[in-house]
Amino acid sequence: MKKIIPGFIILILASGLIHAQVVLQSTMAPLPGSMLSFQELDDPASFTFARQGENLVWDFTGLGSHSIEPVIYVDPATTGYPTAYPTANLAVNMEEGLGYIENNSNQELLLGVVGDPGNGVQSMPFYPAMPLFDFPYTYGSSMNTTSQIRVKMDGASFGIPATDSVKYHMTLTTIRDVVGWGTLILPDGTYEGCLLEKSQTIQVDSAWMKVVILGWIPAPGYPSTTYDSSYRWLTGEMLHPFAEANLGEGGSIESVTYFKGLNVSSGSPVSGGDFNLHPNPAVDYITIRNSGQAAIERIDLFSTDGRQFETITRKSGTTNTMVNVSNLNPGIYILVIYTTTGERIVKRLVKQ
């Protein structure tokens, strides 16, 4: 019996390694100032991928693509509306304007947006706040949420000039399931244990116009309902999809985007793909490999709660750099890489 127990333990450990999918936590929120660059496929309809299952491989390399607008995370205090959402500790640029996020140990919530619905820039909160993640979030996790934005404006701003006032409600119901995990291969690097999330969104737009005698009545053409679905690849790097495929109502792929690089800088952006950590997760040492033109000048090592552990200064012109991490406790750390041209690149390190 004594001989069987060690073998049984090894079997359990091996099983854990085989099923080493990512577990997302609140500490993986992007740092304020992070600019994420993305590419969009030129021919999304030609892209095929496994849509569920375990230990899969998704390869985005060698595909024709073009750059699109980056996603930028900022400190809400640096925006023009710091008091609109007092509990927000992160903000992100969105097509609708700025999205305000509250990240805590249990959830990440989208509190609302600041944008222009047609009658001027204003705060548009979600009722209730829309959950983006429930932690921990991993393979098998699922979410079903419903939130609403409510706006009141004059009829001319809404496109019905003969009407005095219009009330508009947008109700979003989102069903999300993590249906797969595996290896995501991007030109930027390879991400083990990546999660594949399937998302289905039902948007119901309702509007009422105020008319004399009758009061509030439904506006012509409302309510209207639209359906969207997408697949998102989530890595252990941060709480933002590293790839996304958006599908039409018939299930055909309409657009595909993937992560190109991360930069936290006030200067010219440098592709995060120029710097890779190997191995990651690490035990004793990591090598920072630089395939770009900008040389490493300094490296700062932080814990996820902001405590600085070490500063490593490099000689001018240094490209590849080895860092001793054997004295670190197991966990997640942040490496901030400064280059000789003034950029600041942020990388996440997992210490085993």
Classify residue 7: in a domain, yes or no.
no
**What does the pLDDT look like over 115-171, one tens digit per residue?**
888 777 889 999 999 999 999 999 999 999 999 999 988 877 677 777 778 899 999
The pLDDT-based confidence of 4 (bands split at 50, 70, 90) is: very low
Query: Could you tell me where the beta strands, DSSP code E, fall in 42-164?
Result: 53-59, 65-74, 90-94, 97-103, 107-115, 122-134, 142-154
Clarify whether residues 231 and 248 are in a common domain: yes
**What does the pLDDT look like over 234-291, one tens digit per residue?**
999 899 999 999 998 788 999 999 998 876 544 333 344 467 788 888 888 888 877 7
Kindly report the backbone phi and psi dihedral angles of residue 274, in degrees, each rounded to the nearest multiple of 5, phi listed first. Answer: -70, -20
Share of the chain above pLDDT 70, in %: 85
Clarify whether residues 176 and 104 are in a common domain: yes
Cis before 117? omega within 30: no
Q: Where a domain ends, among 245, 264, 283?
A: 264
Clarify whether residues 198 and 313 are in a common domain: no
**What does the pLDDT look like over 93-120, one tens digit per residue?**
876 678 999 999 999 999 999 988 877 7
Clarify whether residues 343 and 240 are in a common domain: no
Classify residue 6: in a domain, yes or no.
no
The pLDDT-based confidence of 11 (bands split at 50, 70, 90) is: very low
pTM above 0.75, yes or no: no
Mean pLDDT confidence for 161-185: 92
Classify residue 12: in a domain, yes or no.
no
Mean pLDDT confidence for 158-187: 90
Q: Where a domain ends, among 232, 248, 264?
A: 264
Clarify whether residues 290 and 253 are in a common domain: no
Residue 297 domain boundaries: 272-351
Classify residue 277: in a domain, yes or no.
yes
Classify residue 1: in a domain, yes or no.
no
Clarify whether residues 194 and 64 are in a common domain: yes
Q: What is the CATH number of the domain that holds 153?
A: 2.40.360
- Give, for 15, the enclosing helix (H) or strand (E): helix 4-18
Clarify whether residues 291 and 189 are in a common domain: no
pLDDT of residue 183: 97
Clarify whether residues 31 and 99 are in a common domain: yes
Better-scored residue on pLDDT, 130 or 313: 130
Classify residue 11: in a domain, yes or no.
no
Clarify whether residues 287 and 179 are in a common domain: no
| Ramachandran assignment for 253, one of left (phi > 0), alpha (psi -120 to 50 degrees), beta (any other) | beta
Helix, strand, coil share (%) of the chain residues, nearest 5: 10, 55, 35
Q: What is the CATH number of the domain that holds 310?
A: 2.60.40.3080
Classify residue 127: in a domain, yes or no.
yes
Q: Where a domain ends, among 264, 288, 318?
A: 264
pLDDT of residue 351: 83
**Count of Cβ atoms closer than 10 Å to residue 237 Cβ:** 23
Classify residue 258: in a domain, yes or no.
yes
Q: Could you give the C-alpha distances from 188 to 41, 282, 296, in angstroms and in order?
A: 15, 19, 18
pLDDT of residue 315: 55
Clarify whether residues 328 and 249 are in a common domain: no
Clarify whether residues 122 and 244 are in a common domain: yes
The pLDDT-based confidence of 308 (bands split at 50, 70, 90) is: low
Burial of residue 205 (CB within 10 Å: 0-12, 13-18, 19+) is: middle
Clarify whether residues 224 and 318 are in a common domain: no
Q: How many domains does the chain have?
A: 2
Share of the chain above pLDDT 90, in %: 46
